[in-house]
Amino acid sequence: MIKEEVTKFMALAPLMLPKLIGNKGPDEKDITDDSAILYFTLDESLPIGLVMDMLEDDMEMSLLYHGTSKENRKLHHCCFFTSPKAGRNMFKFNMVSDNREFVSDLTITIYDSLDMMEGELESDLAVHAKSFDFIQAMEVSDVLSLFCTLE
């Protein structure tokens, strides 16, 4: 089933995000029964703000967090995800900037299970809360409420 979700994602994402995904496919894949992690290298590094705008505007994704490292304020980590809805693809985008605040690659996780996605979003948020100062972030309760309201 997860392979079908990857196929759907790879059919849609290059059309909606040609500067980020393109038509070349992922550099690497790590596929399990419940999720698939796809690693993409961008053709050219882009400012993190531009990448964030693309995900929010072109893919209508929600921001889980955007933060800077407590040790290096120029190093940004950011995560966007699709809102969980029945019949909709479930995935998240993670990105890390360099010291110039440019993004050169993306890690995209595609889920087959709402429970798996919720758990990983909460875990990702908790891990980053320890070593990053959030510029903007959801609360764990906000993440829970998105998944609890599903029928």
Check residue 148 and give its pLDDT: 81
CB-based contact 78:48 (threshold 8 Å): yes
Q: Which amino acid is at 148?
A: C
Please report, in tens digits, the pLDDT of each residue of the chain (151 residues total).
899 999 999 999 999 899 999 888 899 999 998 899 999 999 999 999 999 999 998 888 999 999 999 999 999 999 999 987 755 789 999 999 999 999 999 999 999 888 899 999 999 999 999 999 999 999 999 998 888 866 4
